[in-house]
Amino acid sequence: MIDSRQQNSLVARSLRSVWHPCTQMQHHETLPLIPVSHGKGAWLFDTEGKRYLDGISSWWVNLFGHANPRINNALKEQLDKIEHAMLAGFTHEPVVQLSEQLAERTGHMLGHCFYASDGASAVEIALKMSFHAWRNSGRTEKQEFVCLKGSYHGETIGALAVTDVAIFRDAYGPLLQRAHVIDSPDARNAQDGESASDVARRAAKALEVLLQEHADTIAAVIVEPLVQCATGMAMYDPVYLQEVRSLCDRYQVHLIADEIAVGCGRTGTFFACEQAAIWPDFLCLSKGISGGYLPLSLVMTRDEIYRAFYDADVARGFLHSHSYTGNPLACRAALATLSIFEEDNVLETNRVKATRLTAALAPLVDHPHVTNFRQRGMIWAFDVGIDDADLAASFSRRFFSAALEQELLLRPIGTTVYLMPPYILNDDEIDWLAERMQSVLHQVLIQGRDT
Ligand SMILES: Cc1ncc(COP(=O)(O)O)c(C=O)c1O
């Protein structure tokens, strides 16, 4: 019997009135829905007081912990000044400072920032801008895009058109403009004797073959630099980005770097592209840029792209907008986030934390059910071998539930288990996380044997 307290619980009310994202809602007949009450540092707390270590930074957004005092204070101060003003015809200190600081981080190679709210909107902007920049230069035939196998760039119609994850894409296939899908440089594709850089060069060759034939009609290639996250943390060698950059130059095609998941220090450098010493023509940023506080996304562009739109003719301008474009609170959160990077020497301290966590996870390398243990910066992943197709299909949900029981928030992608923790874990938390994750894996594998 469900008593009236349970019926009116936050969970019951949520299931009656909220349509949750990326969820088959029927799964909540058995899958727990956690009513969050508050957060502190790396931890989320539910309404019963139970804690969960946020091992995936709440969908990869939260860099410096929940309720971070420095970001909180910055937002409180900003609230008393201006919460929002439209960005067409107006400007404000937070958006200017943020654009200046980000441009500075690219050595002014990417000199202008265009703002939106979610990652997918930034991808839409980059695609539209690329097409429109070519059009303004008289190259109206450049209308196509190239993406990688397993790419993920968001759920809106344009972003989904350059996304190659069947579960997100297939239902909407008839609505999507077709993109060229080319081989991924995923290091797991190595054939006998091939190194990660060999795989990357081989994948770049496939792009070259495509461009030789179709460059005239292709506007841009879009990539997730170094790690294709949503397809299951596919990691690849930076040489791929160098090869793609030089092919894009040679064949006059734009390069869009979607750093929505991998930017802001996640792969070890502030921008992932820095590890290949290249700059794209468009760089998309979101998620971590606001410290995980507020929806904020942006597209940074080279000045020649900006100039292609600069004209007396209104229609040659980029007439895209969103109501909350450049929201001052979101930009202030981003500025506080960038300050923490500087004040705490975050990229350096992350290296030390990453070494410790990798060492603590070392037993997984030889685990009989684990393959492809991999790490880049503050991302760890491994694939779990499960022969039974039904058990493999339910692995992610079973792992998620088992992890919650052990005070951990982890959501595997298929049978790939990954960690993307916030950057503020202390040594005890690192050791605890590594030990608990291995214990959850053990529990789920044992359960699988019992069923
Ligand atoms: C690489 C990449 N691009 C785009 C997106 C879409 O961002 P959003 O969910 O904020 O629309 C994501 C989200 O996970 C992503 O990982």
In this structure, the residue with its CA closest to atom 2 of ligand 1 is: 153
Q: Work out the angle between the directed axes of helices 427-450 and 389-405 (0-180°, nearest 10).
A: 140
Atom of ligand 1 nearest to the CA of 295: 10
Contact 400, 412 (CB under 8 A): yes
Strands 282-285 and 254-258: parallel
Q: Kindly state the tokens that stand for 220.
A: 């841009």
Cα separation, 184 vs 179, whole angstroms: 14
Contacts (Cβ under 8 Å, ≥6 apart) of 327 = 84, 117, 294, 296
Please report the pLDDT score of residue 447 as a whole number.
81
In this structure, the residue with its CA closest to atom 13 of ligand 1 is: 154
Please work out, in degrees rounded to the nearest 5, the angle formed at the alpha carbon of residue 376 by the alpha carbons of 372 and 378: 120
Cα separation, 311 vs 315, whole angstroms: 9
Cα separation, 237 vs 409, whole angstroms: 29
Which residues are part of a known binding site for pyridoxal 5'-phosphate?
A: 119-120, 258, 322-323
Q: Could you report how far apart the first and last alpha carbons of the chain are, in Å?
A: 27
pTM: 0.97
> Which residue matches tokens 């937070």?
94
Atom of ligand 1 nearest to the CA of 59: 14
Which residues are part of a known binding site?
A: 59, 119-120, 152, 258, 287, 321-323, 411
Atom of ligand 1 nearest to the CA of 261: 16
Contacts (Cβ under 8 Å, ≥6 apart) of 183 = 148, 149, 189, 202, 203, 206, 207
Please report the pLDDT score of residue 167 as a whole number.
94
pLDDT tens by residue, 217-247: 999 999 999 999 999 999 999 999 999 999 9
Pocket residue to mutate for ligand 1, from 153, 169, 293, 420, most atoms within 8 A of Cβ: 153
Q: Kindly state the tokens that stand for 432.
A: 């605890």
Q: Which residues of the chain have pLDDT under 70?
A: 1-7, 450-451
Atom of ligand 1 nearest to the CA of 60: 14
Pocket residue to mutate for ligand 1, from 260, 264, 296, 418, most atoms within 8 A of Cβ: 260
In this structure, the residue with its CA closest to atom 4 of ligand 1 is: 153
Q: Kindly state the tokens that stand for 387.
A: 């022969």
Å from CA of 421 to ligand 1 middle: 17
Å from CA of 240 to ligand 1 middle: 21
Please report the pLDDT score of residue 1 as a whole number.
46
Cα separation, 179 vs 163, whole angstroms: 9
Ligand 1: which residues within 6 Å by Cβ?
118-120, 123, 152-154, 224, 229-230, 258, 260-261, 286
Å from CA of 261 to ligand 1 middle: 7
Å from CA of 119 to ligand 1 middle: 5
Å from CA of 1 to ligand 1 middle: 41
Å from CA of 390 to ligand 1 middle: 28
Please report the pLDDT score of residue 352 as a whole number.
98
Please report the pLDDT score of residue 7 as a whole number.
66
Å from CA of 413 to ligand 1 middle: 15
Atom of ligand 1 nearest to the CA of 287: 10
pLDDT tens by residue, 36-76: 999 999 999 999 999 999 999 999 999 999 999 999 999 99
Pocket residue to mutate for ligand 1, from 124, 157, 259, 286, most atoms within 8 A of Cβ: 286
Please report the pLDDT score of residue 392 as a whole number.
94
Please report the pLDDT score of residue 450 as a whole number.
63
Cα separation, 146 vs 157, whole angstroms: 15
Which residues are part of a known binding site for substrate?
A: 59, 152, 287, 321, 411
Å from CA of 42 to ligand 1 middle: 22
Please report the pLDDT score of residue 8 as a whole number.
78
Å from CA of 153 to ligand 1 middle: 5
In this structure, the residue with its CA closest to atom 5 of ligand 1 is: 154
How many angstroms separate the Cα of 167 from the Cα of each of 24, 79, 172, 382, 413?
Answer: 12, 40, 10, 21, 11
Cα separation, 419 vs 86, whole angstroms: 38
Å from CA of 222 to ligand 1 middle: 13
Please work out, in degrees rounded to the nearest 5, the angle formed at the alpha carbon of residue 57 by the alpha carbons of 55 and 62: 150
